[in-house]
Every structure is written in structure tokens, then in C-alpha cells.
Amino acid sequence: MNRSPLVVAATVAGLALALGFRPHATGPTSASSAGLTTGNAHVSGAQTVVGSDQALAGGLGDIQVKLTAANGKIVSVGMAKMNLHGPQSAQISNNVIPQLQQQTMASNGGPIHAVSGATYTSKAYATSLQAALDQLKGGSNAALATSNGNGSVLQPPRGGENDG
């Protein structure tokens, strides 16, 4: 039995697959593709504001918080922008951002804790969140702008400090 045609055909097929392989892009991840929103942004009489665009230290990307408030309560928090550079930054942020959003909803704009191991992301999120809260002036949402008292929504992480 002559195996040459079979070997040649398998080699050609393998080569075609190898040349056609396209690895997943490791470029920026956008907030829309990440789907990171907590709460219900569609409440009548709600006010939606966007915080400042904050760079993650070390050139890891940038994020921007968007929140919706109604009747003095945060009803939704999400990301207006989330450009992350590299798979490690995306992995950390995609795990950390939901935790920070849950804390934001639970504290209603009050102090939140930095997430240990994600200090850069926590600081950028908190700075953008504070900028968004500061835009809530007048009406029933005005108290959210000053409810945290000390002008900073970020507290040290629970159980230890880690840069990253």
C-alpha cells in the first residue's frame, strides 16, 4: 500500500490550517463588549452621568464610570469606557469591576473598598466614580454628590494591600 499520497494530503491540510490560524486579539476591551453594568438604568426621572476618563497606572488602559441615579439612590452603575491593554489587565479588570460596582450599589455612592491585588483598577474606578457623583447636583440626587463626606469614595482593601 502506497502511503505517499495520504502523507502529502495530510501535510497540505495541516499547513493550510496553520497558515490560516488567527490568534485572538489582545487589544483593548470595550465596556460594551464586556457587558459590565449593574442595576436598572431605565427608571423614569433618572439622571445619568459619566465620570472622568481615568488611566490605569503603568499604561494598562483606561476606564470611565457611568451611573444612573433616581430619587437619591443609585439605580445603575456601568462602564462608559473600558479600554484595557493586554490579557492580564483585562482579566483583572473583568473580575474586579463587577465587585466595585456591587460595592457602589450597596453603599449608594458611599465609601467602597479597594480590591486587593487590583489597586490600579480600584483607584481609577473610584476617581471616575467620584467625578460622576460630583455631577449629581440639584433635585433628589444632590445628596449623592456629598454623601460620602470626605471627598473620596475609596478605602483601603480588606485584608491587605497589593499593587496591581
3-state secondary structure of 78: strand
3-state secondary structure of 154: strand
Cα–Cα separations (whole angstroms), residue 147 to 42, 65, 76, 109, 115: 23, 18, 17, 7, 22
Chain segment 35-89, per-residue pLDDT in tens: 455 555 555 678 999 999 999 988 889 999 999 999 889 999 999 999 988 888 8
Nearest alpha-carbon partner for 112 in 152, 143, 53? 152
Residue with the three cell numbers 473598598: 113
For the chain, give every domain's residue range: 27-155
When the pLDDT of each residue in the chain is averaged and rounded to a whole number, the result is: 77
